Structure 1
Amino acid sequence: KVRTELLHHYGRNSKFYLKRKRYDDYRSEMARSLFCLCPLGWAPWSPRLVESVLLGCVPVIIADDIRLPFPSVLRWQDISLQVAEKDVASLETVLDHVVATNLSAIQKNLWDPVKRKALVFNRPLQEGDATWQVLRELEALLDRSQRSRVGSSRR
């Protein structure tokens, strides 16, 4: 539905470069863009979000219920925009406002090496990379689970 609405509202708008399918040179196009749309897809998460950050293109997340990765490390509000699905019709106005006000601050945050590293899986794993972040999240989940079990067994 979101993708259909995007095409309906902006398919003929020269400010937007919208394609229905991925094509060979799409990463180059993303790298040349100020904003990369990351609408709700068929899966609950999309590589486009990470690709946008790594290519220096501000991700515009249009997915109301998305759970963004590694929120303990990445302040997504500093490196992306979130637009409610119901607000797709006003997307152009939102983006124009960001260009006029705080685009350079968001772009500067995108190039922070710590933020970028947190989204990349390395071999071998490196402290702070995506594998490291997954392990940290799992460790925190395990700690919460163990504390919960200990607390409930004392009752």
Structure 2
Amino acid sequence: MSNTPYASETLAETIHALRDTRQTPMFTMKRQANMFVILLMAISLLAATAMPSHAEKHNNDLAKILAGALVIGLIAKSIDDNKDRHKPKPQPEPVYEPRVPSVCAISIDSNSGDAVTMYSQKCLRREGFDYRLPNCARDVRIYGEADRVYSAQCLRDAGFRLGR
């Protein structure tokens, strides 16, 4: 008796053979499709060369013609399916950030000596800036006229690009 832990030599060989098949990679779908197309082409070539020369077998010829057309259709479909897989995925639409008109920028010197850039709501509307503005405006008087102004940081945080 051999040194195998199994009850019989045949069982040991079977288990060994099964282990080897698990380690081999499985056929991919593309490879299976290619093998199927090759098989269909071989069958169609075999059918084309085995045509009888008798004219009385007209019905048999019609069946072979239909089978050939079916094979050609399957080949064309598999080629078309392969083309569809290679289409690029649609790209997301670019995010458009509206640009705030730079002519509306007002530079105001603060008490600490730093300049603060503000944007007047009336100027923005006059320049055709029709986007919804954020709720971070300050009520001010500019040359005696009431207006609402937005800081540059406030508009940036709301997703607007500031003009240069």
TM class by smaller structure: under 0.3
- Which is strand-richer, 1 or 2? 2
- TM superposition score normalised by structure 1: 0.21
- Which is helix-richer, 1 or 2? 1
- TM superposition score normalised by structure 2: 0.20
The structure having more radius of gyration, on CA atoms, is: 2
